[in-house]
Amino acid sequence: MTLHHEGRNLILAFTALWFGTIGILILIEAPTYITIPLVGIVTMLLLIVLQFFRYPTKHTIQNPKQIIAPADGKVVVIENVVDEEFQKESGIGERIQVSIFMSPFNVHSNHNPVTGIIKFFKYHPGKFLVAWHPKSSTENERTTVIYQLPNGEQVLVRQIAGALAKRIKWYVKEGQRVEQGQQFGFIKFGSRVDIYLPPGTKINVNLGDVTTGAETVIATLA
């Protein structure tokens, strides 16, 4: 278990706050009834930040026929849809959408669900509706990544900011070759990741299932 580099500044800030608070309390010789609550509060804040930016070791078993979960979280959507952006960029119609909700208690790194080439990437500024809002996938701040698989199929992954998530980070660009399970981004403080799969794909998860990014096999290609 390590700490994610995206949390470096916040971790340093809250660590400084922790030491600073204790230092001031010692310096002014604050009474116990003040010291205990304040130390408890800053300790809790530091622990919350540390748990949010934890980054456990991932063990991906690569398989070109399998789709790996792009995020830790809970499956909240499984449905057939036509995504307008996917259709515009690739001429592809109906897809199977699987959405994974990431709570503030989940690991927030995002991982490539497949091995392939980044055919398309775009960042969209937008709103911060709650992640389960029906319009969050088209109106919220988000990124769109389209993967071109070796067999010619295409898979779209969309990072979506939520009411608490105010920062989306990505580490991929168009034309880049990526490996299944590698980290491609990070969403700070909870949100959602959508993945759009080819028709005929066998979905291996159900609504409410918990996924582990880079490890859980959520689908099998036909």
Task: State the catalytic residues.
Answer: 191
Give dist(CA 98, CA 100) in Å, integer: 7
Give dist(CA 144, CA 185) in Å, integer: 11
CB 219 within 8 A of CB 76: no
Q: CA torsion sign, 173 to 174 to 178 to 183?
A: positive
CB 99 within 8 A of CB 76: yes
Give dist(CA 72, CA 183) in Å, integer: 12
Give dist(CA 39, CA 44) in Å, integer: 8
